[in-house]
Chain A
Amino acid sequence: MSVLLIAEHNNKEIRPFTLNAITAASQMDEDVHVLLIGNNCGEVAKSLSEMPAVKKVLHTEAPHYENYLAENFAPLVVKVSENYSHIVCSANTFGKNLMPRIAAHLDISQVSDITKVISADTFLRPIYAGNAFATVKSTDAKKCITIRPTSFEPCETSGGSAPIEKIESVEEFKLSKFVKREEVKSDRPELGTARIVVSGGRGMQNGENFKLITDIADKLNAAIGASRAAVDAGYISNEHQVGQTGKVVVPDLYIAVGISGAIQHLAGMKESKIIVAINKDGEAPIFSVADYGLEADLFEALPQFLEELNKLNSIQK
Chain B
Amino acid sequence: MKILVAVKRVIDYNVQVRVKEDGSGVVTDNVKMSSNPPDDNAIEEAVKFKEAGKATEIIAITVGEEKSQETVRKALAVGADRGILIKTEGTVEPLAVAKSLKKIVDREKPDLVLMGKQAIDDDCNQTGQMLSALLNWPQATFASKIEIKDKILEVTREVDEGLEMIEVNLPAVITCDLRLNEPRYASLPNIMKAKKKPLEILTASDLGVDTAPRVQQIKVEEPPKRKAGIKVASVAELVSKLKNEAKVI
Binding site for B on A (CB under 8 A): 69-71, 74, 91-94, 96-105, 107-113, 122, 126-140, 173, 175-184, 192, 196, 220, 228, 231-232, 237-239, 244-245, 247, 252-253, 263-264, 270, 273-276, 282, 287, 289-296, 301, 304-305, 308-309, 312, 315-316
Q: A104-B134, A127-B123 are in contact. Are A136 and B161 (CB under 8 A)?
A: no
Interfacial chain B residues near A179, Cβ < 8 Å: 154, 165-167
A245 to B242, CA, bound (A): 29
A164 to chain B, nearest CB (A): 27
Q: Give the one of A139, A291, A312 with max B CB within 10 A.
A: A291
Q: A128-B26, A177-B167, A291-B246 are in contact. Are A105 and B133 (CB under 8 A)?
A: yes
In the complex, the 10 A-B pairs of residues with the closest C-beta atoms, listed nearest first: A100-B129, A109-B214, A104-B133, A104-B130, A100-B126, A176-B138, A291-B229, A308-B239, A304-B235, A179-B165
A35 to chain B, nearest CB (A): 18
* Chain B residues bordering chain A, tally (CB within 8 A): 82
Q: Is the CB of B167 within 8 A of A181?
A: no
Q: Is the CB of B229 within 8 A of A176?
A: no
Q: Is the CB of B13 within 8 A of A263?
A: yes
Chief secondary structure at chain A's binding surface:
mixed
27 CB contacts below 8 A, A to B, read: A100-B94, A101-B130, A104-B131, A108-B214, A109-B215, A126-B123, A127-B121, A129-B123, A134-B218, A135-B217, A136-B218, A137-B215, A138-B214, A139-B215, A179-B165, A192-B160, A238-B158, A239-B161, A252-B248, A253-B249, A264-B120, A289-B226, A291-B226, A292-B229, A292-B242, A293-B232, A312-B239
Q: Is the CB of B219 within 8 A of A135?
A: yes
Interfacial chain A residues near B98, Cβ < 8 Å: 104
**Given contact pairs A179-B167, A180-B164, A294-B232, a sample of 16 additional A-B residue pairs in the complex whose CB atoms are under 8 Å apart:** A97-B139, A112-B125, A113-B123, A136-B216, A137-B218, A176-B168, A183-B161, A192-B160, A196-B249, A238-B162, A247-B160, A252-B248, A253-B249, A274-B248, A308-B238, A309-B249
A238 to B130, CA, bound (A): 25
Residue pairs across A and B with CB atoms within 8 Å: the count is 265
Q: Is the CB of A291 within 8 A of B122?
A: no
Binding site for A on B (CB under 8 A): 11, 13-14, 16-17, 19, 26, 38, 93-96, 98, 117-118, 120-134, 137-142, 144, 154, 157-169, 172, 177-179, 213-223, 226, 229-232, 234-236, 238-239, 241-243, 246, 248-249
Interfacial chain A residues near B218, Cβ < 8 Å: 122, 134-137
A70 to B159, CA, bound (A): 13
**Chain A: CB-nearest residue to B117:** A245
Q: Is the CB of B213 within 8 A of A109?
A: yes
Of B158, B160, B217, the residue contacting A94 (CB under 8 A) is B160
